[in-house]
Structure 1
Amino acid sequence: MKKKPTFFKRIQDIYHTKPDFFWSVAWVALMPSVGSLISIRYLLSNYEDWSYPWVDSPFFIFTFTLLAAIFMGFALIPTTLLAVLTGSIWGWQAFPYLVAAYTLASVLGYLLGKTISADLLETLLGQYPKAQKVVAEKQNRMGNLIFFIRISPAIPFAFSNILFALLSTGLQKVIWFGLWGMLPRTTLAFSSGVFAESLYNAIKNRGMDSTMDLLLLFTFLLIGILGIWHFFRSKS
């Protein structure tokens, strides 16, 4: 009988056939931290002398939404940091545009993920029929998984987009359930920026400047973990 290849051997084989997928995962794992360091250093250089465009300008709305979506969709900056900065600089008037940018970034990230992970799940789980069966049985409930992954602060935004594409959750579900999943965390980070005494304090605290913020963050993490666990443990 032919010996079944190990999981890590299959990973190695997939790397040779689809190296772009692995480089993409490495990119979304490392680049947000690099982007965070660069953007913080840039913003804090003479930040008191910065002047910012008006929120109600149509040009600002279009430019901000497009650039924020690109930066988040390509994992150039952490979503939490962007929310804190937006809240600190422009206040609640900019919140709808940030939400719109998140939605566009989800679309961009998912579509990019589909191009690099096409048919990869079947290849990855080809020798594991039980795992394939679980994924197939859960397809109708992928919206629940999207929600709990988005609400969890432990799973990076860009990485989750690749995961959703790999699982073929469907773009509409990513947009709708992802929106409601990301709103609690985004609102927390954004409000922290709004109420920060200065841009420096907003960047320093990163949405965790009080015991209540930490408690809410822990609550989101707990909800995410329990929700994901229940998703895979419950019967379809």
Structure 2
Amino acid sequence: MKTTIPKNITGPAIAGLILSVTPIVFTSVLTYYAIIYEPVIAGFSTWQWIGITLTCAVTSAGLTPPTMLALIFGYFLGWNAILPMFVINFGGILFINLIVRWLDHDRVLAFIRRNPKAQSVLDRILNNELEVIFYAKLSPILPFGLTNLLFALSGARLKNILLGGFLGMTPRTILAVWSGHEAHAIKTLLDNPNQGSWTQIIVVALVIVSMAGLWRTIQKSLKQ
């Protein structure tokens, strides 16, 4: 008996699953090594940090969560971590877009176009894609790699993905770097990154603004 499973398993579907699972695994790995090798990491030279930044600019696409990296970079580099984190964020976005070009992007779009209603909804949302990307990136709870993949597959313009990603990621990146900078022990920081009351309030506020903004933007798009 023939099975339809292979037809339903597309490259983007597999990539989406990977981008949802691997950050959880690598968060534990990063936490372990950052705690065990804290004295070694603290002694890294400028060139070593540059090498780590360039490496993470690729791995942040689906392996190393940028928020976790911002905590670690902030702990060891203080406010000097801001520039490396933006390099990492932009690198992850660009790398995902390269992957999408290699995967069966056209097959996904062809599947969507077979459903006129789905295509109509997507087209309307893309009319306000910069707002959608901004609010999605503003939320600390939406996976970085997965949202990048979805926006790349949707056909959103790269300049809007980069600009919306920059604007949305800036508040949460600065918050994570600040949390790392203020921490006195990396184990406490990574075990409970939102231990401060102000940090918790800001995180909740970012989530609320993100969800409310997405809802308003999508509703506005559907009414057009």
- After TM superposition, is the score higher than 0.5? yes
Between 110-119 and 32-41, the greater mean CA deviation after superposition: 110-119
Residue identity matched to 2:88: A
**DSSP-derived class of the 1:119 partner:** helix
- Counterpart for residue 3 of structure 1: none
Q: How does 1:31-50 map to 2 (within 5 A)?
A: 31-45=22-36, 47-48=38-39, 50=41
Give the Cα separation in 2 of the matches to 1:121 and 1:229. 24
Matched, 1:221 2:207: yes
Task: Tell whether the 8 Å contact from 2:138 to 2:206 is kept in structure 1 after alignment.
Answer: yes
Query: Is structure 2 residue 187 aligned with structure 1 residue 200?
Result: yes
Alignment partner of 1:106 is 2:93: yes
More displaced 10-residue stretch of structure 1: 215-224 or 12-21: 12-21
Q: Structure 1 residues 19 and 132 mapped into 2: Cα distance closer, same or farther (>3 Å)?
A: closer
- Alignment match, 1:67: 55
* 1:123 match: 110
Which residue in the other structure is 1:8 paired with? none
Structure 2 residue aligned with 1:163: 150
Q: Deviations over 1:72-121 (max 9, x none)?
A: 01x11222111100000111112111112211111112221343251244
Contact 2:10 2:104 in 1 (8 A): no
Distance change (3 Å), C-alpha of 1:122 and 1:113 = closer
- Counterpart code for 2:30: S
Deviations 1:17-42 (A, max 9, x none): 65322221111111111111112122
Contact 1:66 1:101 in 2 (8 A): yes
Which amino acid in 1 is paired with 2:26?
Answer: G
Q: Deviations over 1:184-217 (max 9, x none)?
A: 11111111000001211221222x1211111111
Partners of 1:15 and 1:22 within 8 A in 2: no
Runs of 4+ that moved beyond 6 A: none
* TM superposition score normalised by structure 1: 0.85
In the alignment, the residues of structure 2 paired with residue 170 and residue 96 of structure 1 have an alpha-carbon distance, to the nearest angstrom, of: 24
- What residue number does 1:180 align with? 167
Residue 98 to residue 229, structure 1, CA distance change in 2 (3 Å): same
Pick which of 118-127 and 146-155 moved more: 118-127
CA positional deviation for 1:50: 4.7
The letter for the 2-side match of 1:210 is: G
Structure 1 unaligned spans of 5+: 1-11
Report how many residues are paired: 220
Q: Quote how far apart the aligned CAs of 1:13 are.
A: 5.8
Partner residue, 1:79: 66
Report the AA paired with residue 80 of structure 2. Q
Q: Deviations over 1:7-62 (max 9, x none)?
A: xxxxx9685265322221111111111111112122222534654324xx3x3453
Alpha carbons of structure 1 residues 159 and 13: separation in structure 2 relative to 1, 3 Å: farther
Instruction: Give the match's secondary structure for 1:130.
Output: helix
TM-score w.r.t. length of structure 2: 0.89
Helix, strand or coil at the partner of 2:43? coil
Query: C-alpha separation between the residues in 1 aligned to 2:43 and 2:145?
Result: 27
CA RMSD of aligned residues (A): 2.1
